[in-house]
Amino acid sequence: MDDSKKATMVLVMNTFAFTVCFAVWMMNGVLITFLVDNGVYAWDKADMGWLIGIPVLTGSLVRLPVGILTDKYGGRIVYTILMLIASAATFTMSLVDSFNGFMLASLGFGISGASFAVGIAYTSVWYSKERQGTALGIFGAGNAGAALTAMFAPALLMYFTDDATNLDGWRMLPQMYSACLLVMAVLFYALTHFKRVEGGHTKSMSERLAPLKLLRVWRFGLYYFFVFGGFVALAQWLIPYYVNVYGMTVAMAGMMTSIFSLPSGVIRAAGGWLSDKFGARPVMYWVLGTCVLACFFLCIPRMEIQSPGAGVMALRGGTVTEVTDNEVRIGDNAYAYKNKNTIGTYRSIEDVESGALVLPQSTFWQEPAVQVGDTVAKKQLLVRGVTHIFFQANVWIFTLLVFVVGIMMGIGKAAVYKYIPEYFPNDVGVVGGIVGVVGGLGGFVCPVIFGYLLKSTGIWTTTWIFFFWVSVICMIWLYMVARKLIRQESPKLLHDLEGDLQAGVAPIAGER
Rounded to whole angstroms, how far apart are CA atoms 453 and 436?
A: 25
Phi, psi dihedrals of residue 201, rounded to the nearest 5°: -85, -5
Average pLDDT of each block of 10 consecutive residues along the chain (512 residues)? Answer: 82 93 89 89 82 84 84 89 95 92 92 87 80 78 81 90 88 95 95 75 61 77 90 85 85 85 78 81 90 90 79 86 87 85 62 61 84 87 86 80 92 83 70 78 83 86 93 90 70 50 43 32
- As a whole number of angstroms, the distance between CA 144 and CA 23 comes to 8
Question: Which residues make Cβ contacts (< 8 Å) with residue 88, sequence separation at least 6?
Answer: 108, 178
Q: How far apart are CA 443 and CA 228, in angstroms?
A: 7
Beta strand 327-330 with 318-323: parallel, antiparallel or unpaired?
A: antiparallel
Are the C-beta atoms of 321 and 329 separated by less than 8 Å?
yes
Q: CA 348 from chain center: how many Å? A: 30
Helix (H) or strand (E) holding 366: strand 361-368
DSSP state of 127: S
pLDDT of 507: 43
Residue 26: phi, psi to the nearest 5?
Answer: -95, 5
Q: Which CATH class is domain 304-386?
A: mainly beta
Number of other CB atoms surrounding residue 498 within 10 Å: 10
- The Cα–Cα gap between 140 and 134 comes to 10
Contacts of residue 154, defined as CB under 8 A and 6 or more positions apart, other chains included, come to 30, 34, 249, 250, 251, 253, 254
* Residue 397: per-residue pLDDT: 82
pTM of this prediction?
0.68
Spatial separation of the C-alpha atoms in residues 473 and 390, rounded to whole Å: 31
pLDDT at residue 505, as a whole number: 42
Q: Which residues contact 419 (CB under 8 A, 6 or more apart)?
A: 220, 280
Query: Cα separation of 130 and 127, whole Å?
Result: 8
> Which CATH code is given to the segment(s) 3-300+395-481?
1.20.1250.20
> Distance (Å, rounded) from C-alpha 208 to C-alpha 190?
30
For residue 293, what pLDDT is reported? 94
Closest CA relative to residue 432, chosen from 142, 149, 68:
68
Q: What is the phi-psi region of residue 435: left when phi exceeds 0, alpha when psi lies from -120 to 50, beta otherwise?
A: alpha
Could you tell me the residue ranges of all domains in the chain?
3-300+395-481, 304-386
